[in-house]
Chains A and B, each alone.
Chain A
Amino acid sequence: MKTNLLAIILFFLFFYSNANAQDFRLGKVSVAELEEKEHPKDPSAPAAILFKKGEVKFKYDENNGFQVLTEVKTRIKIYKKEGYEWANQEVRYYLDNQLDEDVSFSDAVTYNLVGGKIEKTKLKSDGEFIEKINKYWGQKKITMPNVREGSVIEFGYTVKTTITSFLRDWYFQSSIPVNYSEFITIVPEYYEYKSNQKGYLTIGRTVEKSRGSFTINSKERIEGQMGVTKTEFSQDKIEFQETRTIYLGKDLPAIKDEAYVNNMDNYTSSISHELSMTNFPNTPVKYFSTDWESVVKTIYNYDDFGPELNKTGYFEQDVTALLSGKNSQNERISAIFDYVKNTVKWNNYKGYSCNDGVKTAYKNKTGNTAEINLMLTAMLRFAGLNANPVLVSTRDNGITFFPSRSAFNCVIASVETPEGFILLDATEKYSEPNILPIRDLNWIGRLIRKDGTSTEVDLMPKMISKEGTNMSIVLKSDGSAEGKLRKQLTNHEALWFRKENLATNKDSYLEKLETNNNNIEISDYVRENDLDLSKPIIETYAFKDSKDIEVIDGKIYISPMLYLVDKENPFKQEVREYPVDFGYPKQEKYNININIPEGYAVESMPQPLNIATGENVGAFKYVIANTGSSIQIVITKDINTSIVQADFYPVLKDFYQQMTDKQNDKIVLKKI
């Protein structure tokens, strides 16, 4: 018993001292850290962040008021050459003079182990660079000296700013492992922030209150007796309460990119802070966004949002003319929607705030998302429709997990009807009502009414996008086939097709079509409804295919979909960490008729198949029948949801494998 206890104590002692061996102060690099050959938990990691500490504090300055200082200290271990990029660091800052932003690096040192001894190489000014990226952004860069496999690098930097409306985002996780990540905010009682945490990992949080103070020097001229004035200097020490919040993450694995992921940022462990309230002495308390209602109100009250929405003079004449004779709701919507799409082009800038304003955008025929879609909303209202703007976060901006002004980066339009919402985005010329461009399909948006109240709007498409194919194949005994195909694309499939192909000239498109379809020969190609968005895209053509049929020992082997067959399962990886994002629900349907050459009969055919994944995610149906000299096949593939959770991945992978296998099954024809 005693020995056991001792062992436990020893174990703890050892453990304790071991944990303590790592010193999270700059300059205290240990030999053990330099000797480490690979990351103990992730041997493939090219580098690791041994620690990263950030501290945000407020400093009072009589001239500028409160300034926010963010001090960051980092130690990085480089294991492999692929990790050398971590020896180059950069930090951005706003160039706007009023914001008085600045970045300064300090204590940048590279450590190497040379003959068992620690060798230090300090960063000198020749490794530090200042770059003006453009009008708005500057950037400081450092490149560390003497970096090799095994090096440990350290650096600190401070960001100084007068921006208090948000704090810089802190990323606990990175593309390499992070052993220790600590983030501290020390906020005086005059400010209150709302923090939003993202990611799947547990981050510890502790809160302490303490007293802080600053001194104000003031001078006062006092009129004394007999007209003598004198200046009296006084110092006021102002005391206040500070809230100190410590966030701590340990042993955070590297975040790895995966295919079919909407945006990796959604899953990276991080924290953001947005100002929710200011409460200065002798000043009324001011509230900022803390819940969706107030976020929306704040945005609505911005000069370049709400007031822009209420302007109508600039278009009234044109829109009145446009609407004459159009009485039904749908007519009016599509007239206005088409008008905006065709007259005002998107300049590729996203935003929910107007840049030049709706009037200028209308005049110049070009604008950002806000100008175009607020203009659209205003016109729809003018036409007597119940139209409102909807705030959206596009896919590259991440999912709107938490209420904050930066949660959104875009705005679209909506019309409320008894049948539900009709969503419109006039920045995409091939989009239709309720068929938004893919970038907008990002979970939930926020609709703002005239009175500033708001409501959630589901952005994910409910309408199924269809790809329908009719193919008739005449098979010849020499193993070639001739046939005709008719393909029809609706909704998002049509939108995607138009975006991708309409600007391509016909010859190049046909070459691409042939190449993507196992080099069949295409003739008599016709396409309908290129620009008639209300109708599906329809392609018809005749083809010759000699590569997808095999004649072996007088027997003909053919998989009925010929060149349309999916040869491989798109889901290859064994495990999946993040949800699979299809974007929108989709149905693919094939009606195939095969004419058997004379003198041949069916020896064997694939078995029919009817499978579904459960939870209504996917279904697949394969029906085949032989009547005389022809074979009919009907294949239907349904993906009914836009997003599939990661834990459902094995089922999905297996479902795709079964579909792929079935499509590749052969019909065998024999001579009679």
Chain B
Amino acid sequence: MNFKYFGLVFFFFTTLLSAQKTEYSSLLIPDSLKQNANAIVRLDQIDIVIASQRSMNIKEKRVVTVLNEKGQNAIDAYESYDKRRVIKNIQATVFDAFGNEIKKIKRKDFKDQSSVDGGTLFSDGRVMYLDYTATQYPYTIVFESEIETSTTAFIPQWFPLSDYLLSIEKSVLNVSFPENLGFRKRELNFSNFKIKTTADTSTQLSYLATNILAQKEEDYSPNISKIFPRVMMGLEFFNLEGVDGNAKTWKEFGKWWSDKILTGTEELPEETKAKMKTLVGDEKDPIKKAKIIYKYVQEKSRYVAIMEGIGGWKPMPVKDVDRLGYGDCKALSNYTKSLLNAVDVPSYYTKLYGSKDKQNIESDFVSQQGNHIILTIPNGENYVFLECTSQDDPFGYQANFTDDRDVLVIKPDGGEIIRTKKYENKDNVQVNKGKYSLDDNGKFSGTISMVSEGSQYGKFHIVTTPPTEQEAYYKEYWGNIGNLKIDKTRFSNDKEKVRFTEDMEISADNYWKISNGKMIFVVNAYNQYTGSVKRIRNRKNPFEIQRGYYDVDEVSISLPTGFSIESLPQNFELNTKFGEYKTEIIKKDNNNIVYKRSLLVKRGLYKNIEYDEYRLFMEQISRNDNAKIILTK
């Protein structure tokens, strides 16, 4: 009897199991993968088949278990498409925590939308994406897609760990390719991760990554592309939006780009050529001529991006830019190049990554890279780089966007990798000279002149903001001064010397208050370091200070009469590998003191264990910047 029942129960249990996809159950995930994770990639299998120079097929099956609402992004269920990139299949299935199927999402249920970003006026690119509302956590989603494209110039890079707080159970890449297309690859940041190369032959490349644990994001970390594993891939014989190409070296790549992409776009109307010649007149120096032309372009043009087909790569014809007065980075750089050419100044179309975060063109991996175009002008042994999309950058100004990185310069005889201008720590300087006085009603009044250069010059944009925003900016900047009033502002922007000066008159009622016959106030009124560096327990990643800076202050302070100095802050000095800090107070007489301060923060890449030292360095600065004077009546 008992035996019989057992059989029945067992039977029931097995049928129940077969209705589930146990592999998609969230219950069996090891705790180690859940640690710090908002989502877990259970499986990400990407199969890339390159059939020929003009045909590539990409299949993806991505299974993600989402643990909470912050893990939603990890689903990554979207595909872009256009005329030459077709989505052959796109679908998804959702499973609950037990692996029971709860929803099927078909192609027609995906959202279909034009993929125009903020900076682009028009693009023929479109995107299909999944907009799924989670009804419970955890859940597992299986996303499947297939893409067919004729453009083989980009093989999507393999980037199994694409975010923080995401762990990987299993990630697989399989690429197959004909032997004769010159397939190549570059592996980056593999060292600290469990990645197995399962095939590496003349027609096949496969990797397997398993059990990569989720990482927390840590402040000042280098970009994830510099610390997480990835594989870049490329072909020697490729196709870009219908145009065949081949390149083994940067030289060849540049030559092809010049011949196939740039040629035919560069013709300038004779009238404009003549106009440029008149404009430069008798000037012989190529750099001085370039300055004149650059100014002309800045006044005449504006940035408008239009991306259609090969237009995403090929600059709009120069004669159109001349007629319409607008274009994107490609068009405006190419246009400036043609104008310079008309006055016999050579210059080169230059591909690079434009971003605050410094990113190189991977110099030992010849392939289509970069997201921005600038123009390079040879200047003896050196180069000058022009940002042609800006209407107000000084000639050759690069800080914060295209500085200090490897770029691809396309010269007539081919491409070449060079390094852009580096702004040294002390190039990024701000010199503050000023004074302030305090009266016995507690009123602060002062004047200050702040001169900024290098990366700190970047703040010159404040000139063009509306007055209300300027006011808000300074009230934030001097947030340490309560009741702040901006009485007078004068800016001068020396584009020639790349130097921006702010002359300010400010005042504040009740900057200090007498309590019990004492007056206490912070000496360093104008330039307090008020930031704070977060404490991070067990930091894993190295940290990077991408740009150094140097601040020098000298402020004369007049104290109200009828008070005597009870206490002055001590002089203070710090010297570390991260930088130098020094403050000094000089007592001139009973009512006049001079405050001197200098702070140098050095650019650098440091080990994880050095982070706490850096934090303490900045904390001491913050503390000392808050040092106070005490006066007694």
| A residues lining the B interface (CB < 8 Å) | 44, 46, 80-82, 84, 87-88, 121, 126-127, 129, 131-135, 141, 143, 145-149, 256, 343-348, 364-366, 503-505, 507-508, 511, 514-515, 518-519, 521, 547, 550, 552-553, 557, 567-569, 572-574, 603-604, 606, 657, 660-661, 665-666, 668
Contact pick for B121, options A132, A143, A550, CB 8 Å = A143
Tell me whether A134 and B467 are in contact (CB under 8 A).
Answer: no
Tell me whether A550 and B628 are in contact (CB under 8 A).
Answer: yes
21 contacts between A and B (CB under 8 A): A84-B303, A131-B122, A133-B113, A143-B121, A145-B323, A146-B323, A147-B326, A148-B300, A348-B133, A365-B136, A505-B36, A511-B534, A515-B532, A552-B630, A553-B566, A572-B471, A572-B484, A603-B516, A604-B516, A606-B515, A666-B515
Tell me whether B302 and A147 are in contact (CB under 8 A).
Answer: yes
Q: How far is the CA of A514 from the CA of B303 in the complex (A)?
A: 43
User: What residue of chain A has the Cβ atom nearest to residue B474's Cβ?
Assistant: A572
B residues 310-345 with Cβ under 8 Å of A? 320, 323-326
**Residues of B contacting A572 in the complex (Cβ-Cβ under 8 angstroms):** 471-472, 475-476, 484
Tell me whether B68 and A503 are in contact (CB under 8 A).
Answer: yes
Contact pick for A129, options B36, B121, B533, CB 8 Å = B121
Q: How far is the CA of A146 from the CA of B134 in the complex (A)?
A: 49
Q: How far is the CA of A99 from the CA of B121 in the complex (A)?
A: 27
Task: Return the CB mask of B163-188 against A: 1 if under 8 Å, else 0.
Answer: 00000000000000000000000000
**Residues of B contacting A574 in the complex (Cβ-Cβ under 8 angstroms):** 471, 485
Q: Does B525 contact A (CB under 8 A)?
A: no
Tell me whether A666 and B520 are in contact (CB under 8 A).
Answer: yes
Tell me whether B114 and A660 are in contact (CB under 8 A).
Answer: no
Q: Does B439 contact A (CB under 8 A)?
A: no
Tell me whether B479 and A146 are in contact (CB under 8 A).
Answer: no
Q: Does B210 contact A (CB under 8 A)?
A: no
Closest chain B CB from A331 CB (angstroms): 25
Contact pick for A573, options B304, B464, B471, B483, CB 8 Å = B471
Q: Does B204 contact A (CB under 8 A)?
A: no
Tell me whether B467 and A44 are in contact (CB under 8 A).
Answer: yes
Q: Does B368 contact A (CB under 8 A)?
A: no
**Residues of B contacting A606 in the complex (Cβ-Cβ under 8 angstroms):** 515
Query: SS class of chain B's interface: helix, strand, loop or mixed?
Result: mixed
**Residues of B in contact, count (CB < 8 Å):** 66
Closest chain A CB from B477 CB (angstroms): 11
Q: How far is the CA of A552 from the CA of B114 in the complex (A)?
A: 63
**Residues of B contacting A521 in the complex (Cβ-Cβ under 8 angstroms):** 535
B residues 74-93 with Cβ under 8 Å of A? none
Tell me whether B135 and A366 are in contact (CB under 8 A).
Answer: yes
Closest chain A CB from B395 CB (angstroms): 17
**Residues of A contacting B216 in the complex (Cβ-Cβ under 8 angstroms):** 507-508
B residues 577-633 with Cβ under 8 Å of A? 619, 622-623, 626, 628, 630
User: What residue of chain B has the Cβ atom nearest to residue A175's Cβ?
Assistant: B466
Q: How far is the CA of A46 from the CA of B302 in the complex (A)?
A: 14
Q: Decide yes or no: A519 and B111 within 8 Å by CB, A148-B299, A508-B216, A661-B482 being known contacts.
A: no
Q: Does B536 contact A (CB under 8 A)?
A: yes
Q: How far is the CA of A366 from the CA of B532 in the complex (A)?
A: 42
Q: How far is the CA of A34 from the CA of B619 in the complex (A)?
A: 55
Q: How far is the CA of A503 from the CA of B137 in the complex (A)?
A: 12
Q: Does B459 contact A (CB under 8 A)?
A: no
**Residues of A contacting B111 in the complex (Cβ-Cβ under 8 angstroms):** 134
Q: How far is the CA of A507 from the CA of B214 in the complex (A)?
A: 14
Closest chain B CB from A89 CB (angstroms): 10
Tell me whether B628 and A552 are in contact (CB under 8 A).
Answer: yes
Tell me whether A134 and B112 are in contact (CB under 8 A).
Answer: yes
Q: Does B196 contact A (CB under 8 A)?
A: no
Tell me whether A146 and B468 are in contact (CB under 8 A).
Answer: no
**Residues of A contacting B122 in the complex (Cβ-Cβ under 8 angstroms):** 129, 131, 141
B residues 402-446 with Cβ under 8 Å of A? none
**Residues of B contacting A365 in the complex (Cβ-Cβ under 8 angstroms):** 135-136
Q: Does B69 contact A (CB under 8 A)?
A: yes
**Residues of B contacting A134 in the complex (Cβ-Cβ under 8 angstroms):** 111-114
Q: How far is the CA of A549 from the CA of B324 in the complex (A)?
A: 63
**Residues of A contacting B136 in the complex (Cβ-Cβ under 8 angstroms):** 365
User: What residue of chain B has the Cβ atom nearest to residue A149's Cβ?
Assistant: B299
**Residues of A contacting B483 in the complex (Cβ-Cβ under 8 angstroms):** 569, 657
Contact pick for A80, options B121, B464, B532, B623, CB 8 Å = B464
Q: Decide yes or no: A84 and B515 within 8 Å by CB, A126-B320, A507-B537, A567-B479 being known contacts.
A: no
Q: How far is the CA of A364 from the CA of B136 in the complex (A)?
A: 11
User: A507-B537, A668-B518 provided; 4 other pairs, C-beta below 8 A?
Assistant: A81-B302, A129-B306, A143-B304, A364-B135
Q: How far is the CA of A131 from the CA of B121 in the complex (A)?
A: 10
Closest chain B CB from A269 CB (angstroms): 19
Q: Decide yes or no: A661 and B121 within 8 Å by CB, A147-B326, A515-B532 being known contacts.
A: no
Contact pick for B464, options A82, A604, A666, CB 8 Å = A82
Tell me whether A127 and B324 are in contact (CB under 8 A).
Answer: yes
**Residues of A contacting B133 in the complex (Cβ-Cβ under 8 angstroms):** 345-348, 366
* Chain A CB within 10 A, most for which of B38, B122, B518, B566: B122
Closest chain B CB from A135 CB (angstroms): 7
Tell me whether A345 and B628 are in contact (CB under 8 A).
Answer: no
